Structure 1
Amino acid sequence: MTALDNPTAPPSGPVTAADHRSNNFDFLRIVGAVLVILGHGLALAGRAADIPTILGYPLQHIGVFIFFSISGYLITASWSRTKNPLTYALARCLRIFPALIFVVLVTALVIGPWVSSMTRDQYFDHPGTSAYIFNNIKLFVTFELPGVWDDLPYPRAVNGSLWTLFVEFLCYLAVPFLFIFPRFIRPLGALIALVVVIRLAETPIEESPVFWAVRLRDAAGMWAFFAAGALLRLLSERFSWFRFRTDVAVAGTVLAFLVSGMAPRFALEVTSVAVAYAVLTIGLARTPYIARSARFGDFSYGLYLWAFPVQQLVIDQFGVQRMSVNLVLVVGISLVMAVVSWYFVERPSMKLKDLIVRLTRRRTAPATEALKVPASA
């Protein structure tokens, strides 16, 4: 039985961006991005009270939970396959930063001077312009550009989605530490991490420290889903009997709804694991047509990065429209930018990552062969 036959079985070697994708993860990422767009669309139009909730969380949070659950599983799998710090770090950086730099530069250097209430010279001379660029590129989230969108329903927020990238990057740094432990206790380490971040997420807001412009209480709410995804991946590696089952996913989801309604004090403990399990069960399946969602490109990250400034730009240029009109405009424009980002920024970066993986494998292969002992020895 191969890893493709058994989706819970860890692949035997590094997997590159060019490898065949035969699961539903790409589709779920699109779903997550659309949920974020829907939630943000209502908030930016001044209708935050109208945002639907699921399990007690607004739509945009559910969308981010989907991203973090998938990421926890796949990033843990990535380190488990390679265990090469350089390859791992380069792969993670090449996935996050090129598209981030693209959206930050276009926003600050094209959209900013176009819509700012300042003159072009005033805008570019203002220290806030360069601060926006350099802070966001180093993941120190900065929301404002000089004179940009001061009078919108949700004023002065240029790209409110960027703060989660630093939260995600910290997860990338944390994953290798799980593998310090022997294989048989790694799931316990992930479980302890899950408990710790849940406790941190429950810290009163006024007591929560801020690190690198992010309130740790808010970050921990996202970390819980990443930790749950990592835990489920490690369980699948450690125990041959572990499977992602549809009936278990349904039962867990029902339990999460019951707990969120009847005992919200314990909602995150149950929801993080239940949502991650359900997301991974759906994601690891191979549904016809849905499994080919990214056959033209993986546009989910670009949609996520571009939708917020596009939503603000649409409101700035056309006013607050009916939500149906707003969403058509936002999704259409954001998708165009996501396509540009994928073909001209992200895909070339992923090809570079794949080249690094192949070179690393070639260098380590001779050393590995030299260590093999002949069967007759």
Structure 2
Amino acid sequence: MIFSSVQSNLGLAFNHKKNSLGFLRFLFAVLVVLQHSYILGNFGNEPLLSLSKGQLSSGSLAVHAFFIISGFLITRSYISNPNIWRYSWHRILRIFPGFWVCLLVTSFVIAPIAYINVHGNTSGYFLTSDSPFSYVFSNLFLSIKQSDIAGLMASHPEKSLNGSLWTLEWEFFLYIAIAILGSLSILTKFRWIVLAIFIVLLLTYLLDSCHCRIILLYWTSNRVPPLLVLFFSGAVFWLYREKVYWNSIIFVSLVLVTSVAIYLNLYTWVEPLTLPYIILWLSINLPLSNFDKHSDYSYGIYIYSFPIQQLLVQFNLDEFGVGFYFMLSLLLTMPLAILSWHFFEKPALQFKNKKNNSINYFVSKVKK
């Protein structure tokens, strides 16, 4: 049953082998494509942004949900296998191979097509100061220091070849944060410290008039602080899972509270408290646990859709309307996401548990 009033707790309700998180990640990746369709195609505000009076968009909802899920699962991952080297190796395998291949595909497949469309050939493409080679090497470690190649995006509403990649640096930063907390035994023996970190991040985020400082000290984009808050909300949900009451009445109540908050222009104040429960409830109760049994294309959709959408704008295919542009973006992104998973992401993940791989060798040496 999807809805049940039977009282339980999150620890008992969540089954890490049988849940709908794979479906939700896929859905959220598609929502990012939808949001970017409106931005990159210059179609104005997308429906959810207009409906929420600017408080919430499909893209921000998706990215925020990604960080909630990540905080929840990554914390669980470290506690389940509390070895900092193996944990780090697993996180590297999940992020970097697909990311590096995306940089190469963008530089040497997608961007050259856009360049030929403008110049008629590739003459000069490899010799510009913002060359494809510098694009790859400048962005190699997730921090996007070069956003364009050969000035191709200069006339676009968004000046970046791949504006989705900015979140990956913060995602990996939070992976490191969990590794540090785990290595200090905070995740297991002093979990209240994680709760305190969440509360401090939440309060300073809410009290900051521009929402653009971390703990009221470090200036950054106003897109960043909520990611930290929501990641740690997911971590807190896992650490205190046996204390989180779990039933449909709470879920429905939180949906109503969120809806009222949006109506009253208070969504920012309730999101970190209601959205984690809503997302995790859906992951447990939606009957779609086999959705990602054989594949997970969400990461590929997320990292490839933006350059594909920019390419479509380059060919003026956004002129056929937002619906056509959105569907064509998905249609052309999916093959890349499929190839990314089957030929790069999945093979890389197979090294996670290899008995003779280099990281296990290194771990064994450290233990000695």
1:246 and 2:248 equivalent?
Answer: yes
Give, in angstroms, the shift of residue 352 of structure 1. 0.8
Counterpart selection for 1:302 from 300, 311, 318 = 300
TM-score w.r.t. the length of structure 1 is 0.81
In the alignment, the residues of structure 2 paired with residue 191 and residue 79 of structure 1 have an alpha-carbon distance, to the nearest angstrom, of 17
CA deviations on 1:105-147 (whole Å, 9 max, x unpaired) are: 1101122222124663422122312332123221111321113
Q: Say yes or no: does 1:125 pair with 2:127.
A: yes
**In the TM superposition, what is the alpha-carbon distance from 1:33 to its structure 2 partner?**
0.5
2:234 is matched with which residue: 215, 219, 229?
A: 229
Counterpart of 1:22, as a letter, is: K
Residue 277 of structure 2: aligned partner: 277
- The amino acid across from 1:100 in the alignment is F
The Cα of 1:157 is off from its aligned counterpart by 1.9
Unpaired runs of at least 5, structure 2: 1-7
RMSD over equivalenced CA pairs, Å: 3.1
More displaced 10-residue stretch of structure 1: 175-184 or 158-167: 175-184
CA contact (8 A) 2:212 2:225 kept: no
2:164 paired with 1:165 = no
Query: Contact 1:43 / 1:51 at 8 angstroms: preserved in 2?
Result: no
> How far apart are residue 263 of structure 1 and its match?
5.8
Q: 1:1-377, aligned counterparts within 5 Å?
A: 8-9=11-12, 21-53=17-49, 56-116=55-115, 117=118, 120-129=122-131, 130-141=133-144, 142-152=146-156, 154-179=157-182, 180=184, 181=186, 183=188, 185-186=190-191, 188-198=192-202, 199-200=204-205, 203-205=208-210, 208=213, 215=220, 217-236=222-241, 239=242, 241-262=243-264, 264=266, 267-285=267-285, 287=287, 290-320=288-318, 321-355=320-354
Q: How far apart, in 1, do the equivalents of 2:60 and 2:207 lie? A: 16
Q: CA deviation at 1:329?
A: 0.9
- After TM superposition, what 4+ stretches of structure 1 lie above 6 angstroms from structure 2? none
- Which of the pair has the greater relative contact order for Cα pairs under 8 Å at 6+ separation? 2
Between the aligned partners of 2:212 and 2:80, the Cα distance in structure 1 is 39
Deviates more, 1:177-186 or 1:337-346: 177-186
Contact 1:158–1:312 under 8 Å retained in 2 = yes
Deviates more, 1:293-302 or 1:278-287: 278-287
Taking structure 2 as the reference length, the TM-score comes to 0.83
Q: Would the aligned equivalents of 1:22 and 1:286 in 2 still touch at CA under 8 Å? A: no
8 Å Cα contact 1:70-1:229 kept in structure 2: yes
The residue matched to 2:246 in structure 1 has which SS? Answer: coil
Deviations 1:40-69 (A, max 9, x none): 101111123344237621110001111111
Match of residue 5 from structure 2? none
Do 2:90 and 2:352's aligned partners in 1 also have CA atoms closer than 8 Å?
Answer: yes
Corresponding residue of 1:372: none
Once the 2 structures are TM-superposed, how far is the Cα of residue 246 of structure 1 from its aligned partner?
2.4
Counterpart code for 1:305:
I
Distance 2:201 2:130 in 1: 33
Residue 218 (structure 1) shift? 2.3
Any idea what SS the aligned residue of 2:250 has? helix
- Contact preservation (8 Å) 1:143, 1:159: yes
Distance in 1 of aligned mates of 2:200 and 2:222: 11
Distance in 2, matches of 1:10 and 1:183, equals: 20
Contact 1:143 1:157 in 2 (8 A): yes
Note if contact 2:35-2:46 (Cα within 8 Å) is conserved in structure 1: no
2-structure distance, mates of 1:231, 1:139 = 26
Distance 1:140 1:253, change over 3 A: same
| CA gap 1:334/1:272 in 2 versus in 1, 3 angstroms | same
